[in-house]
Chains A and B, each alone.
Chain A
Amino acid sequence: MAHFTKATSVHDWLNQRLAIDTLQRVLSKEYWIPKNINFLWAMGMVLAFTFGILLVSGIFLLMYYQPNVDTAFDSVNYTIMREVDFGWLWRHVHAVAASVVFLIIYIHMLTGIYYGSYKKGREMIWISGMLLFVAFSAEAFSGYMLPWGQMSYWAGMVITNLFSLGSLEFNGLVEWIRGDYVPGQAFLDRFFMLHVLLIPLAILGVIGLHFGALRIPHVNNQDGEEFDFDEEAAKYKAGNKKESKVIAFANDFLSKDMFVVSIYLIFFFYLVFWHFGFAMDPINFDPADGLKTPPHIYPEWYFLWSYEILRPFPKDPGLVAFGFAQVIFFLLPWFDRSPNAVPASRRGLFFFWFWAMVVDLIILTAMGKLPPVGVYSLIGEVAAYGFIALWVILPFITRNEKRV
């Protein structure tokens, strides 16, 4: 056993047992961040904050929510919204955070793509980030089921139907997933478990991996500049903070992070108090009714782009295209064959590729919600082909990119 001396203070007592000085040094005071980064790099902290908000509000909702097909709807809309003091606040916070977290994830992802932050050396950051995206998607979907409203029920029906794998007609698999022929009590019970335990646990684990993945390659910077972190850190430690290209995570970058977070919170709570409706589909305020199909079934806004890649095609090709859309972003570090990890504005054709992808995703999102008729159907189909085409050409347009 290590040698322990009589502690001179509480700090010393803890330090001997938990090495808190070392932890603080490694995790914050000597965790180096490039100086030339903009507010987009604070999105990680914004996401961590939002996840915290979701966790806390979710725990409060969990105290009163009842995972039962007969009482779930009323436990949310009556008990939590009317009887529990400030239940409405936790519910709106949870619902708005669940929607806004995807907006921030998309900004975070597109930032990574724009600045090339997934390139050689940083693949694990990108992959763990994509794993988080998948986990958050599963978390959002399972949570959407719980109020047992009309859209919950029918979204559950439509999404689980995908597992029949088109013409393969694996209906047994669909029934096994649902625990019934249609979404029912067994379905609600297992999605409740997934939402409150298994997936959050997985998310916490992958967040750990995502943070860990940053440790060695460090975060990218606004100019794509490569420099020696040890050399720059030495300058910083010697007191030449102005000349050094790096800053400490705490309190240097943290102070900027917190400023960005505070602005974000103003936006967030504005939505919670005065615009929560955008995050809650009106149709979900009708109780689930298995005998009455809603006139339009569509997913939440953050899934619309991938839904629209499924919808314009016949059954089997649609499923293949949908599967493609789900996995292709994972492979970005290998599809992009350029050696540069610099902003898209300095990469020639890739710059156009990036903005074409942004516009295409927005078009797919819009068409995914609109009824699939007439010109909307056509635009959706073209945008879905466009998405696939963009991925096919990516290796070719980046192959000959010159090193900058």
Chain B
Amino acid sequence: MKEFKILAVVIFFTLVTYWLVEPFAHSQMHAHVESEGFSYDDLPPLEKTGDATRGQELVMGAGGCIGCHSIEAAGFPAAMSPVDNSAAYGVNPPDLSNAGGIYAAKFLAALIKNPTQALMVEHKFTPESGKMHPMVAFYGAGGDIDQEVADMVAYLQSIAPKPDQITPKQAFDTACGRCHAVKYENWTQIGEKPAFKKKRDELVFLTQVEDYNANLMGYMGKLPPDLSMYIRSRGEHYISTFIENPQNLLHGTAMPRVGVSKDGAEKVIEYLVEAGDPKHAERDSVGIKVMIFLLVFAAASYLWKKEIWKDLH
């Protein structure tokens, strides 16, 4: 039938234009970065099996971790406020309670031995720049260093919640939340903004955020962006590959490699989806209903047209 032929022509040219303007143009403007599957192939493999009890002694003692890090889960609260910590280190060192459940074991081991390599910030902390990475490498407590590192990782894994018990928010907090705000979720770099009764208390809190961010800006070079809408502006694939290796997408960026496991990355993305697109489930359910209505409407209008036109032909 002639009308179908015309419709096919219209659809053909519409789709060609769409393809050129959307998928094709975007593929030309943004190089596609393939996911590395969070395998961290450039880092040395973990060959030793760790002993959590030995690891605990190292973390609490010779390893020196609790000199800077708090471990709330093991009864070691932070000695200083986030703002004071950021004044000392540039950024608040993370609490290690969840670290074993969020980060890849291989990454944690590499981080303990050589932070700048694991974090991929060797371009920033060069001898010429005179800058030192705030986290000091662990040079061993006198035994087999690989065994000692494996023990410490085993300890961190033993105190952390199981990966499937970690909430998206916990994953985000530990992995991203000390540098990035998510204002649509009320998240600031020093934690969730509480509901204040008095304006004065709110201003005190906001001043702390400002102070923290000033230190963070000095450390990173600029204030890391608010991530509220990143799921919309960047998309899941970009964020996922960016978390995996920021240098692949933004060469020379001060953002460190985060080192999350595949599971940890999915949790972070889940958090960002809820922040930037909280109505996705509602959209799907309303969408189905609207479609059913429209199909009925189309059928009814077709019957109406047939009824009217039977007198005309």
Taking beta carbons and an 8 Å cutoff, which residues of A are in contact with B?
35, 38-40, 77-78, 81-82, 86, 88-89, 103, 107, 241-242, 247, 251-252, 255-256, 258-259, 261-263, 265-266, 269-270, 272-274, 278, 280, 282-286, 295-296, 301, 304, 358, 362, 365-366, 369-371, 376
* Contact among A39, A256, A266 for B295, CB-based, below 8 A: A266
A282 to B30, CA, bound (A): 13
A304 to B10, CA, bound (A): 19
What residues of chain B lie closer than 8 Å to A296, measured between beta carbons?
A: 29
What residues of chain B lie closer than 8 Å to A39, measured between beta carbons?
A: 3, 6-7
What residues of chain A lie closer than 8 Å to B233, measured between beta carbons?
A: 282-286
**A259-B290 contact given A38-B2, A242-B312, A366-B24, CB 8 Å threshold:** no
What residues of chain B lie closer than 8 Å to A358, measured between beta carbons?
A: 13
Judge whether B291 and A256 touch: CB under 8 Å: no
A29 to B301, CA, bound (A): 19
Interface members, chain B 1-33 (any A CB < 8 Å):
2-3, 6-7, 10, 13-14, 16-18, 20-22, 24-25, 28-29
Judge whether A273 and B283 touch: CB under 8 Å: yes
Judge whether B301 and A278 touch: CB under 8 Å: no
Judge whether B29 and A81 touch: CB under 8 Å: no
In the complex, what's the smallest C-beta–C-beta distance from B194 to chain A, in angstroms? 19
A259 to B295, CA, bound (A): 11
In the complex, what's the smallest C-beta–C-beta distance from A276 to chain B, in angstroms? 9
Judge whether B29 and A259 touch: CB under 8 Å: no
- Residue pairs across A and B with Cβ atoms less than 8 A apart, 19 shown, are A40-B6, A88-B279, A88-B283, A89-B286, A251-B308, A252-B312, A258-B301, A258-B304, A258-B305, A262-B294, A265-B294, A269-B287, A272-B287, A273-B283, A278-B22, A282-B233, A282-B235, A285-B230, A366-B24
Q: Which residue of B lies closest to A40 (CB)?
A: B6
Judge whether B312 and A247 touch: CB under 8 Å: yes
Interface size (B, Cβ < 8 Å)?
A: 49
Judge whether B287 and A370 touch: CB under 8 Å: no
What residues of chain A lie closer than 8 Å to B29, measured between beta carbons?
A: 295-296, 370-371
B302 at the interface (CB under 8 A from A): yes
Judge whether B232 and A285 touch: CB under 8 Å: yes
What residues of chain B lie closer than 8 Å to A269, measured between beta carbons?
A: 287, 290-291, 294
What residues of chain A lie closer than 8 Å to B295, measured between beta carbons?
A: 266
* Contact among B21, B230, B276, B291 for A266, CB-based, below 8 A: B291
In the complex, what's the smallest C-beta–C-beta distance from A272 to chain B, in angstroms? 8
Interface members, chain B 83-122 (any A CB < 8 Å):
none
Majority secondary structure, A binding face:
helix
In the complex, what's the smallest C-beta–C-beta distance from B240 to chain A, in angstroms? 15
What residues of chain A lie closer than 8 Å to B25, measured between beta carbons?
A: 366, 369-370
* Contact among A82, A251, A301 for B184, CB-based, below 8 A: A82
**A369-B287 contact given A258-B304, A263-B298, A285-B229, CB 8 Å threshold:** no
What residues of chain A lie closer than 8 Å to B276, measured between beta carbons?
A: 285
What residues of chain A lie closer than 8 Å to B312, measured between beta carbons?
A: 35, 241-242, 247, 252
Judge whether A278 and B3 touch: CB under 8 Å: no
Total residue contacts A-B, CB cutoff 8 A = 123
Closest 3 CB pairs of A and B: A273-B287, A285-B233, A366-B20
B139 at the interface (CB under 8 A from A): no
Judge whether B278 and A369 touch: CB under 8 Å: no
A282 to B233, CA, bound (A): 4
What residues of chain B lie closer than 8 Å to A284, measured between beta carbons?
A: 233
B196 at the interface (CB under 8 A from A): no
In the complex, what's the smallest C-beta–C-beta distance from B218 to chain A, in angstroms? 19
**A278-B18 contact given A259-B298, A369-B25, CB 8 Å threshold:** yes
B125 at the interface (CB under 8 A from A): no
**A362-B309 contact given A39-B6, A274-B287, A370-B29, CB 8 Å threshold:** no
Taking beta carbons and an 8 Å cutoff, which residues of B are in contact with A?
2-3, 6-7, 10, 13-14, 16-18, 20-22, 24-25, 28-29, 184, 228-230, 232-235, 276, 278-279, 282-284, 286-287, 290-291, 294-295, 297-298, 301-302, 304-305, 307-309, 311-313
Given A89-B283, A269-B287, A286-B229, 10 more A-B residue pairs with CB atoms under 8 Å apart are: A39-B3, A39-B6, A259-B301, A259-B302, A261-B301, A278-B18, A278-B22, A285-B229, A285-B233, A369-B20
Judge whether B298 and A362 touch: CB under 8 Å: no
**A371-B28 contact given A88-B283, A252-B308, A269-B290, CB 8 Å threshold:** yes
Judge whether A256 and B309 touch: CB under 8 Å: yes
* Contact among A259, A274, A376 for B305, CB-based, below 8 A: A259
A38 to B7, CA, bound (A): 10
Q: Which residue of A lies closest to B17 (CB)?
A: A362
**A270-B6 contact given A78-B184, A252-B309, A259-B305, CB 8 Å threshold:** no
Judge whether A255 and B232 touch: CB under 8 Å: no
Judge whether B279 and A242 touch: CB under 8 Å: no
What residues of chain A lie closer than 8 Å to B308, measured between beta carbons?
A: 251-252, 255
A116 to B22, CA, bound (A): 32
* Contact among B14, B20, B235, B290 for A273, CB-based, below 8 A: B290
A81 to B286, CA, bound (A): 15
What residues of chain B lie closer than 8 Å to A304, measured between beta carbons?
A: 21
Q: Which residue of A lies closest to B279 (CB)?
A: A88
Judge whether A262 and B298 touch: CB under 8 Å: yes
A278 to B290, CA, bound (A): 20
A232 to B22, CA, bound (A): 48
**A262-B297 contact given A255-B308, A365-B21, CB 8 Å threshold:** yes
In the complex, what's the smallest C-beta–C-beta distance from B16 to chain A, in angstroms? 6
A318 to B38, CA, bound (A): 49
Judge whether A282 and B286 touch: CB under 8 Å: no
What residues of chain B lie closer than 8 Å to A81, measured between beta carbons?
A: 279
A251 to B307, CA, bound (A): 11
Judge whether A366 and B21 touch: CB under 8 Å: yes
What residues of chain A lie closer than 8 Å to B234, measured between beta carbons?
A: 282
